[in-house]
Structure 1
Amino acid sequence: MFADRMGEGGATRAEELAGRLRLDGVHGVVLPYVDTAGVTRIKTVPVARLPRAARWGVGMSPVFDVFLSDDSITATDRLGGPDGDLRLVPDLDRLTVLAAQPGWAWAPVDRYTQAGQAWPGCQRGFLRAMTERADAAGLGFTMAIEVEWALGRAGTDEFVAACAGPAYGATRLVELSDYARDLLSALDAQGVEVEQLHPEYADAQFELSVAARDPVGAADDSLLVRQTIRAVSHRHGLRPSFAPSVLAGRVGNGGHVHLSATRDGRNLFTGGPGPHGLTAEAEACAAGILDLLPALLAIGAPSVASYLRLVPSHWAGVFACWGHETREAALRLITGNAGAEDSAANLEVKCVDLAASPYLLLGALIGAALDGRRRELRLPPPVTGDPARFAADDLAGRGIRRLPTSLDEAADAFAAAPPLREALGDLLADAVLAVRRAEAQRLRGASDEEVAAALRWIY
């Protein structure tokens, strides 16, 4: 129970933290979580109420588990009505003073029932449970989520690019040098380890990569990075979009996941007898993800706009295949430079985006990996080059499937994937399916341009 977990020592710590926050000039604490549609929802408390929030939580209705991205509500047999309440309990270990929002701190929450039991629809709790399931099998996962965003001018719902330079061009950084500096400074002050920041392909698009860490920490980092990008952008008169499709017909924003697994401290994605140095255990984990990839799109590409991004020959990974350093494959095995394989070798999942809840996505990927390990799956032959060059018969002969081309198809695949339902549990799996079906229905018949415009500033 959440009150018990605080105890006398925890209550004392919360009081001490509140005192330090006051000395730092902090007046309020943001308590965020991500709903099933991938939208970050929050409550805030004054610093003086932080100890009480940490001991007893802050109220929030369970109906948000079936909110859609436009704030309308769908339902399952257990969710969607006006009854009930949950408690948002901040994780004090992740309490962070927000460098780009003076006077504010931030702490992600776990959700509990009023009786103090873990809420089965809590996505952060789900990711923690999947991490613990992997730990019990002797596997330690490390993960990271790349963040891509298109930077527009504030004051309009249209997208007006904030800079004019070419893809990956140095001129973009020159135009937005102060902005990029302030972003790096804020993330550093918040303890986020940035590995790269660079201009990307699409108009005014940037990408930021952070260091890999434990799965819950990686999901928290993804949330904090986006909070910081929004705040820094606002201070510069800019507006970021993390949507999968900002402008229809153009390259969209991905949210690629990098993952590796260790046993007894050894990276299992290198030094093995399998293809490109995979150990049998890592190969089985990768094969499990590959096998469930169509169903995983309902979690990792959860928006109607996601399927405007998933276009062949755009490095979005729209075919269910894998390859060594092959950027058109949905799964890209990265082995790293010679001599650095032990720290660098990992699997990149390319077909997912930032409309996804990071907690749901990372937990589902671990669940798929563990399912592949349980079944001792093996990978098919790797792909080189662009799979789109093959005719349909050739693709079928090579065992390569086109991933779902719509949210409806992804939802159908998810509904037919028992391993994912077992991992998520009935309440959370039903919420995912209901929200995906309703999102698909509400934008049915809309043009690509209308879909992009409707979701441009949601994520």
Structure 2
Amino acid sequence: MTTTKEAARPTAAPTEATGERLLDGATHVRVETPDIDGNLRGKLVLASKLAEGALPMFPEAYLAFRVDDELVEHGVGSAETGFGDMVVAPDWSTARRLPGREHVVAVLCDGLRKDGTPHPAHPRSALRRVERDCAEAGFESCFGVEFEFWAFRLDERADAALASGDVAGLTPLSRLPQGYSLLRWPDCGDFVDDLTATMSAYGVPIETVLTEIGDGMLEAALAPGTALEAADRAARFKLGAREVAARHGLLLSFIAKLRPSDQGSSGHLHQSLLRDGRNAFWDGAPERLSETGRHYLAGLLHATHECGAMMAPFPNSYRRFDPAQWAPCEAAWGFDNRNACVRAITTGAGGTRFEQRRPGADLQPYLAIAACLAGGLHGIRERLEPPPEADKLGRGEEARTLDRELVDAAATLRASRFARETFGDELVELYAATREAEAEAWTRLRDGQIPPWEIKRYLEVV
């Protein structure tokens, strides 16, 4: 895996080195910044205003929005705060012309307090802090995100199906549930061509695209970069891919589990560390790990348990976990073992890495990557040792069982000393509160209706 330098610090006005030329001829800038779920939110701002050094402002409360924009009344979402503003400071190294809208420049932003210090509850700022810790430890991070997602046709049946939540009413992009298929390529080729070209122009290079096991399911592996670059690419991919899909009359979904009988959509995180430009995990031969690699692995498994809510942030996320479908339930590891939670890939000095297989495609990319990196660094600092390698079914004798419901994962996060030392009390409390609120909303919706199968089974016979 290759890597690049740490992302530039946010600044007010762009310089020639950080995007000034991109603003030539641009009328507007789309400022983009992640919410608590990791999705990008933003607004259009006059380019001339930002060129003069003005900093956009967002209400702090946006960090406490649920997926339906209901406000979680906790921390920045509390009425006692007065719902004041925070600064969203552009990181001009991320500036890109929007493909097809050349008069608009998109730029990712960090969250700051009004005094210019990093906002303690902002996901991108949290990851930047962990990346700084990595650099101070003498390492350079390298992460690559791999997404599986569903593609459906927006035909005459789609509106009714979406309104009712009836998945059976959606028409998949392809009828064949064949992975690594070339037979399915005529169905998706035009979309994929547009996707790869558009994402590259948007700053999200895609290394590989393939069909997955599921009718209408695709996988895209994003090119690796530093931890911050990888999270930025993941967030931009989910936004940009949906825009491309709409041009082709398609709907994309990154839901973790769509149907009980089908495998879920993963969001695997490939990761390694470099020291002086060399892979710090490689130990000279396959199926071996360096001392640094062993310690990082032990810390990564620890973070998987402590920060699981960041890797599986919604109640639906937990429907995906099924060892029979390569979605692990234990914090176990193994060499080239897809049944394990962490797959150790030791193919050579350039490619040795860990594949974190716990996250789904609905992961919070900034916080999940931050948790993985911080966990690995914790393992290196404390010289932790991993448990024995799991068997080929992914079962480890000393492996910890991972939480099976979001409310439990939120409680684990809130009680975690590691999470609080990594992210700070304010972010941990806010994130746990938003997960608990989402779990409560899900339970209320579930219990507020009787499913059709239950009515059908009992209506006429009891």
Q: TM-score, normalised by structure 1?
A: 0.86
Distance in 1, matches of 2:178 and 2:339, equals: 18
Aligned to 1:213: 225
Q: Is 1:105 equivalent to 2:116 in the alignment?
A: no
Say whether the 8 Å CA contact 1:130–1:366 is kept in structure 2: yes
Secondary structure of the residue aligned to 1:444 is: helix
Distance in 1, matches of 2:100 and 2:198, equals: 6
Aligned to 1:362: 369
Q: Is 1:263 equivalent to 2:268 in the alignment?
A: no
1:17 to 14, 22, 43: 22
CA deviation map 1:104-150 (0-9, x unaligned): 33211111122322211221111111111111111211001112210
Q: 1:401 to 1:100 in 2, by over 3 A?
A: farther
Letter in 2 for 1:41: R
Q: How does 1:379-458 map to 2 (within 5 A)?
A: 379-387=386-394, 398-444=397-443, 446-447=445-446
Secondary structure of the residue aligned to 1:63 is: helix
Say whether the 8 Å CA contact 2:10–2:90 is kept in structure 1: no
Q: Is 1:321 equivalent to 2:332 in the alignment?
A: yes
2:385 to 374, 378, 383: 378
Q: 1:237 to 1:248 in 2, by over 3 A?
A: same
Aligned to 1:230: 242
Q: How does 1:60-459 map to 2 (within 5 A)?
A: 60-77=58-75, 79-81=77-79, 82-99=82-99, 103-154=103-154, 155-156=158-159, 157=162, 158-159=166-167, 160=170, 161-168=172-179, 169-271=181-283, 276-336=287-347, 341-387=348-394, 398-444=397-443, 446-447=445-446
Q: TM-score, normalised by structure 2?
A: 0.86
CA deviation map 1:275-300 (0-9, x unaligned): 92211111111101112322221111
Aligned to 2:459: none
Aligned to 1:36: 36
Distance in 2, matches of 1:36 and 1:105, equals: 24
Distance in 1, matches of 2:327 and 2:442, equals: 22
Letter in 2 for 1:442: A
Distance in 2, matches of 1:403 and 1:302, equals: 14
Say whether the 8 Å CA contact 1:35–1:357 is kept in structure 2: no
Give the unaligned 5+ runs of structure 1. Answer: 389-394, 451-459
Percent identical residues:
27
Give the unaligned 5+ runs of structure 2. Answer: 1-8, 450-462
Name the count of aligned residue pairs.
427
| Pairwise CA distance, 1:381 | 1.5
Distance in 2, matches of 1:371 and 1:306, equals: 26
Distance in 2, matches of 1:60 and 1:289, equals: 34
Q: Which deviates more, 315-324 or 26-35? A: 26-35
CA deviation map 1:261-283 (0-9, x unaligned): 1222221221169x922111111
Distance in 2, matches of 1:179 and 1:100, equals: 15
Say whether the 8 Å CA contact 1:318–1:328 is kept in structure 2: no
Distance in 2, matches of 1:327 and 1:147, equals: 16
| TM-align CA RMSD | 2.5
Q: Which deviates more, 430-439 or 292-301? A: 292-301
Distance in 2, matches of 1:188 and 1:286, equals: 32
Letter in 1 for 2:32: P
| Pairwise CA distance, 1:167 | 2.0
| Pairwise CA distance, 1:306 | 0.4
Aligned to 2:56: 58
